[in-house]
Amino acid sequence: MDNQSFRSQFPILNQMVHNKPLVYLDNGATTQKPQCVIDAITNYYTTINSNVHRGVHHLSQLSTDAFESARKTVKEFLGATHSCEIILTKGTTESINLLAYSFGEAFIGEGDEIITTEMEHHANIVPWQLLCERKKAILKVIEVDAKGNLDWTSFEKLLTSKTKLVSVAHISNTLGTINPIERIIESAHKAGAKVHVDGAQSVAHMPINVANSDVDFFSFSAHKMYGPMGIGVLYGKESLLNQMPPYQSGGEMIDQVSFEKTTFNTLPFKFEAGTPDVPGLLGLEAAIKFLQNLGMENIKDAEEDLFNYAVEKLSKIDGLEIFGEADNKASVISFLLQGIHPFDAGTILDQLGVAVRTGNHCAQPIMAKFGITGTIRASMAIYNTKADIDRLAEAIIKTQTMLL
């Protein structure tokens, strides 16, 4: 993947920023899109645009077929058992809000417990806090050790017969920690709890199989896996989704409506009120096919190689401190430069053509745990090369020379 012809499939990468060739290392926030994804969206609007599920006319049928066939592609990509277990949302944030509302209505009562971790994105904290307030339930938090690993003893202490749900990031967007979700699922299930995995940072970087892992719910956003913004997925086991009430209401999600009584559609439509993002799903399907073509194992290996190179290179820079050195890590490096505010570093790096993210990464609790307010984060994707990492390292050294 480390070659020019591969990179040329991503048109946006071929540009100058502040008169320097762009090095894009903000993939944890969003990834760039290959031409095939852009084409899938454009082709939809130029050939078959029409509303789905409601029309008998030709274009509506083509649009509906393409839409439902793309849902099947998502199902196969995740290793789900049924297409009806793939609920389309706006993204991870909406998937978690849907789950917190609907699972909460069906399964959470006063005194019940939900467990999350200290390393979560706000999207996997706040919906649970609000749910706990509504239901008088209790939110408990697994601790993270100094290296950025989940503290297993802390988890075991929290897990009780009152635990109804464990909701955990597959990969931390800040520390890059890959959490041991299989082990978490096994322990939670033994205690009678369900598990939700926030896959926002994992789905583009490693193979996922929801059936093999036996996870109950899994959420992700298309835009972090080379697909379009504004669409994502909540996977849920059919038996659980069937017991959960609708989240939003309106067209599509109903069966019969009268002023006396409304009955609801079957899965997945029960959870998909209103006109869905059809071109978005076709863009997501194109992104999935693009990834499948490369092979998820190949992607994981290539990114691991690049990550090791980056750690070796950045560790040699004086005054650079890396946050998050978990035993099992993805290609995310959060760091600070001694004596330099992350915002200033990010601004100079940008002037040098290198795009990184600075700030708290929507994960204030883990920042507080490490006693900092933010970091500089370089997060890698399949189009990044060792030359990009060299440019990052050179730009960091130049930043230090300019600011210290």
Query: Which DSSP letter does residue 165 get?
Result: E
194-198/217-221 β-pairing: parallel
Q: Give the 3-state secondary structure of residue 283.
A: helix
Q: Determine the Cα–Cα distance for residues 392 and 384; give it in Å rounded to an integer.
A: 11
CB of 264 to ligand PLP, least distance (A): 25
| CA distances, 265 to each of 44, 56, 204, 259, 269 (Å) | 26, 19, 32, 17, 6
Query: Which DSSP letter does residue 48 get?
Result: I
Residue 93 or residue 358: which is nearer to ligand PLP going by CB?
Answer: 93
Is residue 280 close enough to count as binding ligand PLP by CB under 6 A?
Answer: no
Is residue 27 close enough to count as binding ligand PLP by CB under 6 A?
Answer: no
Near ligand PLP by CB under 6 A: residue from 91, 148, 236, 374: 91
Site for ligand PLP (CB under 6 A): how many residues? 12
Is residue 48 close enough to count as binding ligand PLP by CB under 6 A?
Answer: no
Is residue 92 close enough to count as binding ligand PLP by CB under 6 A?
Answer: yes
CB of 201 to ligand PLP, least distance (A): 5
Is residue 121 close enough to count as binding ligand PLP by CB under 6 A?
Answer: yes
Instruction: Pick out residues in 228-247 that bind ligand PLP (CB under 6 A).
Output: none
Is residue 93 close enough to count as binding ligand PLP by CB under 6 A?
Answer: yes
CB of 348 to ligand PLP, least distance (A): 24
Looking at 55-63, 88-96, 302-310, 385-393, which segment touches ligand PLP (CB under 6 A)?
Answer: 88-96
Site string for ligand PLP, 188-227 (x = CB under 6 A): ----------x-xx-------------------x------
CB of 375 to ligand PLP, least distance (A): 14
Residue 150 or residue 340: which is nearer to ligand PLP going by CB?
Answer: 150
| Residue in the structure block whose two tokens are 């071929």 | 14
Q: Determine the Cα–Cα distance for residues 286 and 282; give it in Å rounded to an integer.
A: 6
Helix (DSSP H) and strand (DSSP E) numbers for the chain: 14, 17
CB of 236 to ligand PLP, least distance (A): 17
Residue 37 or residue 200: which is nearer to ligand PLP going by CB?
Answer: 200
Near ligand PLP by CB under 6 A: residue from 154, 167, 173, 177: 173
Q: Give the 3-state secondary structure of residue 41.
A: helix
Residue 185 or residue 200: which is nearer to ligand PLP going by CB?
Answer: 200
| Residue in the structure block whose two tokens are 């939670």 | 188
Q: Determine the Cα–Cα distance for residues 327 and 202; give it in Å rounded to an integer.
A: 16
Which of 195, 226, 262 lies closest to 36 in space, CA to CA? Answer: 226
Residue 230 makes CB contacts below 8 A (sequence gap 6+) with: 90, 91, 222, 223, 277, 280
Is residue 379 close enough to count as binding ligand PLP by CB under 6 A?
Answer: no
Structure tokens at 213: 């892992």
Q: Determine the Cα–Cα distance for residues 123 and 56; give it in Å rounded to an integer.
A: 39
Is residue 85 close enough to count as binding ligand PLP by CB under 6 A?
Answer: no
CB 204 within 8 A of CB 226: yes
Q: Determine the Cα–Cα distance for residues 331 and 171; give it in Å rounded to an integer.
A: 10
Number of Cβ within a 10 Å radius of residue 266 = 9
Instruction: Tell me, yes or no, if 84 is annotated catalytic.
Output: no
Looking at 36, 84, 132, 362, which residue is catalytic?
362
Catalytic residue set:
362
Residue ranges that bind ligand PLP, judged by CB under 6 A: 91-93, 121, 123-124, 169, 173, 198, 200-201, 221
